[in-house]
Structure formats: C-alpha cells, structure tokens
Structure 1
Amino acid sequence: MKTRHLFASLAAASIVLAMPAFAADSAQDFVDKAAIGGKFEVDSSKIAQDKAQDQSVKDFAQTMIRDHGSANAKLQAVAGEQKLNVPAALDAQHQGDVDKLRSAQAPIDLAYVDMQRKAHADAVKLFESYARDGDNAALKTFAQQTVDTLKMHQQMIGKIAAGQHAITGATTPGVKTDTTPNAAALVPGANSFTEAQAKQRIEDAGYSSVSKLAKDDQGIWRGQATRAGENLDVGLDYQGNVVAANK
C-alpha cells in the first residue's frame, strides 16, 4: 500500500489503527481490540476537531477520522469473512477517555495528544505481535499491511507531542490561551491536566524523579523534581508553563 507523508498537512492515504497494548490471545480477541481502537480514534478525533486549537492537532484528528473510517470498514469485511463478531461499542476505559474529552473545557490539545501518543505506542506493539504470531491468516495479513502506516502515524503524533510539551520560554505555550504566557511565573487558572499528564509534561521539560504532585487552590500543579543533580520545587500551570526553584 502506497502512502504519502506530508507532515505539514498530516495527510495519509493508508489505513492505521490504534489499540490497547495487550497482545491478542486469539483472532476474536484481535478483532475486539481493533474494533474498539478504531471507534475510539474516530470518536475522540471528532471531539478534537471541534475543541482543539492548534491546527496541526486538528489536521491529525482529520487524518484519524478518514483513515479509521476506512480501517473500520476493512476490518468489518475481513472479520465477517472469518465469521468473527465485531463489537459496536467502546469498552469502559475508552469510553471514559472520550467522555473526559467531551466534558473538558476547550482547548483539549494536550489531553488529546497524550491519549493519541499512548494509543499509538500500544498499537505498534499489538500489530507487530499479531503480524508475527497471529493465529488467523487473513487478520495476520491485515496486521502486516497496516503496521508500517501505524508507525508513520506514531511518528506524526510524536512530533506534535514534542511541540505541545516543549519548554515555552518566551514563546507561545503548547496550550494556547488568551493570557500572555510567562515562563518566569506560573499563571493561576482552571487546570485540566490530570496528575499523570502533569507529571509527563514536567518530565518532558527536562526534569526527573517527579513526585508529590498536588493541585493547589489556584489550579497549579506543585511537586518536587530533580534536574542536573539538584532537588527542586516544581510547578505547572494551566498554560503548560513549567517553573522550578531551589528547595
């Protein structure tokens, strides 16, 4: 299958899925994970198109909707030929993630990107495993034909994530707001980062051993971390700014 990678527009002509990391125990198990993953990609990406702010995130979401619409149809056909059932609904975990995006205050760029990054890391493991060891020839071929494109999409979301998580300094933060970013001071405001996302954001800014994270009454995640051998107090505001001070 030929693909064309134009990162600026995030265009892709082939099919890709993002699924949980669990190795499939059987052909039906693979179909279950594939169908749930494909529906999650479409549902979450439709929300991102409406509530994301960065154009590269919107473009990636459109790519997911297009590719997974095709992928879901192909999976449905292959599974039908193999007399396998295709689940129509999300499982509790994926539905919970979709609900979080739907209820979150816009923009949701970082939350969506983080979900996509994890989903695609998991998907590469799943597809490589089934392409190598799958127990159904037709589905194994499907996995083999898909995994390279899946890796391409993983690279795309990795580049977007790097931009979203970059140390902002005097530049625009990854999560754009109407408030002028100030990397020297944390900005109070409603913070939609989860604890896991806050920890990841701080680590991506170059810190390690991030611990004791708690959100204060100003919406700022505060905790402890190390960098260059120093123990630091560290904070993360709703814009994505990371600021640290010596303990």
Structure 2
Amino acid sequence: MKTRILLASLATATAMAFALPALAADSAQDFVDKAAAGGMFEVDSSKLAESKVQDKSVKDFARKMIDDHGTANAKLETIAGEQKLTVPKELDAKHKGDVDTLQNGKDPIDGPYVQMQRDAHADAVKLFESYAKDGDNVELKTFAQQTVPTLKMHQEMIEKIAATMGTQSSSSQTPKVTVGDKPEQAPPLPGANSFTEDQAKGRIQDAGFADVSKLTKDDQGIWRGQANKDGKNTTVALDYKGNVVAGTN
C-alpha cells in the first residue's frame, strides 16, 4: 500500500515538473505574440505614414519608429527562436484593421496615425512594463526591461506631437492666407475621415473638451457633436486632418 502511495506521489510530482515549463512557455508565448504584433504594426503603419503624412515632425517620428521598432523586432525574433517560441508573421485583426484604415484613408493621414501611435504606445508600455516586472522567461524579461525606456521615449514624443497638433487645431479659427491673398478654407475641412468614433472622441478630449457626446459623421466626413469647455456647452467638430473646432453648425 505504501509503495503504491509513494509511486503515485512520484508520478504526480513528475507530472507537475513537466507541466511547469509548459505553463511558463505559454505565458512567454503570449508576450511574444503581443509584442511582435505591436512591433510589426509600428513598422507597417509608419511606412505608410512616411508617404501619406504632411507634418514634418510626424514624418520624422514615423521614420524613427521604422528604425527603432525594426531593430527591436529583429532582437525579439532572435530571442524567441533561441527560446523555441514562435513569432507571428502576420498582424492580428485589430492591428491589420488599423493599417487598412491608414492605407485607405485620404492623404494626409496625420491625425489618425498620431492617434493610433498614442494608443499603441500606451498599450506597449503597459505590456513591456508588466513583463519586465513579472515575466517568467529570463531572456524575454531582460529584453522587456531594456526596451521599456525606448517605448517611453516614443510615448513622450508622440504626446508632444499630439499636443502641438491640438494647439494648432484649436487656434485655427480664421482662414490662412496664401500667395495672391487667396484664403484657404477654414477647418473643419471636408474629406474622407478615417477616425473611428472612439478616436474622434479621444481627439476632441485631448483638445481640452469634456463630456463629448452625440458624435455623428456627416456627409462631408466631419465628426460633429456636443461638448463642454470652460463650463460652457458647445458644438464641436473634428475633420479628417484632426482639426478640432468649437462653435460649428
């Protein structure tokens, strides 16, 4: 009887010993899947942005994303290979949808690209910080720890760009004048708007508005709704370039 119990205990212990690496690999694989998808999105979306954005600071940012994330992607692939983990070769559905939005969006795509980068880097910083702290694979954990500072630098860069664009947008209340004194059309500008409702709401909030509601996209591609600023209710609009304008009809 005792022999049977001992054998059963040994069998259980052996099974647990083999199970633990599998659980660790699953967790490490999850990190690789998410990190690789995010990294591929950075490169693919930024390659599109290089040729489709207008603002020089946004174009320079896109070039940096291609370089920095391209390097990080290669390093992740090397580590994953050494750890016998699989690196996905295609984007997941969400990131593919975002790339398609940029691909099909009317030039320039500065606004949508910047907002996507803000969202992507917020997610990436959380993912890498979490794995850097609690990761179960030593090599990947070190990779995450080394990559976090770069991701945070990227996040600071894109937030500054977004703030500058927001300031420019909210101050664009009068038409600009070009050569020959022919006024340009004042925002909000009609055009194919690739902002989703959530992205439009976030963009408007970033421009200093609260309680954004009743957002609908009109036949000119302009998101229009209600918002509150400085304690006053107002109409608000967001065009395809990311311009936020209050007091529109």
The answer, yes or no, to whether TM exceeds 0.5 is yes
Give per-residue Cα distances to partners, 1:43-72, cap 9 Å, x unaligned: 111100111111111111111111122111
Counterpart mapping for 1:134-213 below 5 A? 134-166=135-167, 167-170=169-172, 180=184, 182=186, 186-213=188-215
CA distance in 1, matches of 2:91, 2:220: 35
User: What's the RMSD between the two structures over aligned residues?
Assistant: 2.6
Structure 2 portions without partners, runs of 5+? 1-24, 176-181
**Corresponding residue pairs, total:** 218
Letter in 2 for 1:222: R
1:156/1:181 Cα in 2 relative to 1: closer, same or farther (>3 Å)?
farther
Larger radius of gyration: 2
Relative to the length of structure 1, the TM-score reads 0.80
User: Post-superposition shift, 1:25?
Assistant: 6.8
User: Post-superposition shift, 1:230?
Assistant: 1.9
User: Post-superposition shift, 1:36?
Assistant: 1.1
Q: What residue is the counterpart of 2:16 in the other structure?
A: none
Give per-residue Cα distances to partners, 1:192-228, cap 9 Å, x unaligned: 3332232122212221000001122333322111122
1:200/1:179 Cα in 2 relative to 1: closer, same or farther (>3 Å)?
farther
Q: What residue is the counterpart of 1:131 in the other structure?
A: 132
User: Post-superposition shift, 1:163?
Assistant: 1.6
> Is contact 2:105-2:192 (8 Å) kept?
no
Letter in 2 for 1:180: E
CA distance in 1, matches of 2:124, 2:86: 20
Q: What residue is the counterpart of 2:234 in the other structure?
A: 232
Letter in 2 for 1:228: D
Q: What residue is the counterpart of 1:217 in the other structure?
A: 219
1:232/1:102 Cα in 2 relative to 1: closer, same or farther (>3 Å)?
same
CA distance in 2, matches of 1:210, 1:243: 13
Q: What residue is the counterpart of 2:98 in the other structure?
A: 97
Q: What residue is the counterpart of 2:109 in the other structure?
A: 108
Q: Secondary structure at the match of 1:38?
A: helix
- Greater share of helix residues, 1 or 2? 2
Q: What residue is the counterpart of 1:7 in the other structure?
A: none
Q: What residue is the counterpart of 2:53 in the other structure?
A: 52
Q: Secondary structure at the match of 2:103?
A: helix
CA distance in 1, matches of 2:108, 2:197: 18
Letter in 2 for 1:32: D
Letter in 2 for 1:226: N
Structure 1 portions without partners, runs of 5+? 1-23
1:32/1:189 Cα in 2 relative to 1: closer, same or farther (>3 Å)?
closer
Q: What residue is the counterpart of 2:179 in the other structure?
A: none
CA distance in 2, matches of 1:241, 1:38: 28
